[in-house]
Chains A and B, each alone.
Chain A
């Protein structure tokens, strides 16, 4: 199994509070992604990174920011959480762009009350 760790795995928070989700990889892959999964929508890309300090927006980036200061870590921040951001968040990594095969973490379930 690819070495991808997401933390926290579960979090309950209140509307308006900041939240940071962490993705840590031990594979030294260049590309890292944050997706959210919601019923009826499948997986939707929030942000992705193609290198240290190189990031780009996905299709549902509003309300989210990311940072990648090291190859192994990709942080997703909700500056002020809203109930619409209640979701399961998945981190994924890929060795190549285009992209090739993605390896996924186990997910972080976030509930915003």
Chain B
């Protein structure tokens, strides 16, 4: 499969805690992206990190990329109940014009 794989599949935390999700992939990439999906809705783009970048921040989000290990992590700090959603990593593989999505991490933030 060309998909990335997220770990864990599901995560449940208390409001205010940090949430970390991991993504592993198999091929060389141009960039890696993270998306969020609320139940019954379309995916929403969160952040894009290029293959020559190691870390990127956006608000409460921090993404790291280790191309030598073919892995990425998404950290959500000070989580809120509204962060409850599924989170997907997607890879833009070298030479391809589309994204390959992982199977997602289901995050539940308990108020």
Contacts and interface: CB of A to CB of B under 8 A. Distances in A.
Interface in A51-74: 56, 58-59
A14 interface: no
Nearest to A56: B97
Contacts of B31: 98, 100
B25 interface: no
B97 A98 contact: yes
Interface in A26-70: 31, 33, 35, 40-45, 48, 50, 56, 58-59
Interface string B87-111: 0101010000111111110000000
Given A90-B43, A104-B43, A42 B101 contact: yes
A101 interface: yes
B105 to A, nearest CB: 11
A46 to B, nearest CB: 10
Contact of A102 (B2, B3, B45): B45
Given A56-B97, A97-B97, A98-B92, A104 B42 contact: yes
B2 A59 contact: yes
B69 interface: no
Given A90-B42, A101-B33, A42 B103 contact: yes
Interface in A76-108: 90, 92, 97-107
B42 A99 contact: no
Nearest to A6: B42
Interface in B38-78: 40-45, 48
B104 A99 contact: no
B30 interface: yes
Contacts of A101: 33, 45, 48
7 contacts: A40-B103, A44-B101, A48-B97, A59-B2, A99-B99, A102-B90, A107-B41
Interface of B: 2-3, 30-31, 33, 35, 40-45, 48, 88, 90, 92, 97-104
